[in-house]
């Protein structure tokens, strides 16, 4: 990943991809206090545009705030830098990865006095859980790892350190032949996927865990709320049990990387008809219309680069 052509925005400069380096004594590398985002740009009918750029940038700033890291750049600078990275790398569609980290001035647990840094990289990235997964649905395992409790790590921050939990859950699930993990919260209720929010559908109503289950406030999750409203479907945020998922009619994951990915199996139990459900398909299709600029109602969610 480090050996390729292109530019990475690093602390205000466009740096050659291979030269975008940090010191091994970087504080974040040792203690995991850092914040990041995952953003996508689509090759829309009106040209390349970044989807919900302001919302992603707001979440990045909020994550930094929660982690007590003072952002060294203004909001609009970070917005413009993301557009510039897509342009500089001549990307038609891509994934963007902004990251905020703490510098290497000193290495006690306390980062007080250390500098804060920002970088933004972008590269082409297809369907996160596979093209086949988008069509047929994926196979998911309930993780043996519990999702973070809301007062252990800060679950509304997209914090670097939160992802050790995601990595363990994903590796466990994929080692056992599944596509992704579903994590329960510390009380045993459904929280989210390793890198996705979860939705189930039962008798025409859509349910998703409320954020007190430790799930990230996903921007795709919010997009699905808008889509459901447009389709006249009810969405309820509530505590969900693992067995409610077993007996749902349809289920899907959402995320910037995962987009809208149907779930066809949980713990080897077929969900509904065991394929992409009809409501999921409608939501997925509405989602791809929006991100590709085919729904004028949401034109303001697409920032041209």
**Is 112 noted as a catalytic residue in this protein?**
no
Least separation in angstroms between residue 38's CB and ligand PMP is 5
Which residue, chain included where needed, has tokens 């830098």? Answer: 81
9 or 199: whose CB is closer to ligand PMP?
199
Best CA proximity match to 183, nearest among 227, 225, 245, 124: 245
Half-sphere exposure (CA, 13 Å, Cβ side) for 204? Answer: 3
Best CA proximity match to 114, nearest among 148, 168, 70, 76: 70
Given 7, 83, 141, 158, the catalytic residue = 158
Helix (H, G, I), strand (E, B), or coil: what is residue 110?
Answer: coil
104 or 165: whose CB is closer to ligand PMP?
165
114 or 291: whose CB is closer to ligand PMP?
291
User: Rounded to whole angstroms, how far apart are CA atoms 297 and 227?
Assistant: 11
The two three-digit tokens of residue 279, written as one number: 């409501």
Least separation in angstroms between residue 80's CB and ligand PMP is 21
Least separation in angstroms between residue 227's CB and ligand PMP is 13
Q: List contacts with ligand PMP (CB under 6 A).
A: 38, 166, 192, 195-197, 216, 218-221, 254-256
User: Rounded to whole angstroms, how far apart are CA atoms 23 and 111?
Assistant: 15
The two three-digit tokens of residue 154, written as one number: 């800060």
10 or 219: whose CB is closer to ligand PMP?
219
- The catalytic residues are 158
């Amino acid at each position: 990943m480090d050996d390729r052509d292109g530019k990475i925005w690093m602390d205000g400069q466009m740096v050659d991809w291979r030269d975008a380096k940090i010191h091994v004594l970087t504080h974040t590398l040792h203690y995991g206090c850092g914040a990041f985002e995952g953003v996508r740009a689509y090759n829309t009918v009106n040209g390349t545009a970044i989807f919900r750029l302001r919302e992603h940038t707001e979440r990045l700033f909020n994550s930094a705030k929660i982690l007590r890291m003072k952002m060294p750049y203004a909001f609009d600078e970070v917005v413009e830098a993301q557009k510039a990275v897509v342009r500089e790398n001549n990307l038609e569609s891509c994934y963007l990865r902004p990251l905020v980290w703490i510098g290497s001035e000193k290495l006690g647990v306390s980062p007080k006095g250390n500098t804060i840094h920002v970088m933004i990289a972008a590269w082409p990235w297809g369907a996160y859980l596979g093209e086949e997964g988008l069509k047929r649905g994926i196979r998911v395992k309930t993780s043996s790892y519990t999702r973070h409790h809301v007062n252990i790590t800060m679950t509304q921050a997209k914090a670097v350190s939160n992802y050790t939990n995601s990595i363990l859950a994903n590796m466990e699930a994929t080692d056992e032949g599944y596509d992704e993990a579903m994590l329960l919260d510390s009380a045993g209720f459904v929280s989210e996927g390793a890198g996705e929010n979860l939705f189930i559908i039962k008798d025409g109503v859509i349910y998703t865990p409320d954020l007190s289950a430790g799930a990230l406030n996903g921007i795709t999750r919010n997009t699905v709320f808008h889509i459901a409203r447009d389709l006249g479907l009810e969405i309820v945020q509530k505590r969900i049990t693992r067995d409610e998922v077993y007996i749902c009619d349809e289920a899907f994951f959402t995320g910037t990387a995962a987009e809208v990915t149907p779930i066809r199996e949980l713990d080897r139990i077929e969900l509904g008809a065991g394929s992409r459900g009809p409501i999921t398909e409608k939501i997925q299709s509405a989602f791809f219309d929006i991100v590709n600029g085919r729904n004028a109602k949401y034109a303001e969610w697409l920032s041209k680069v």
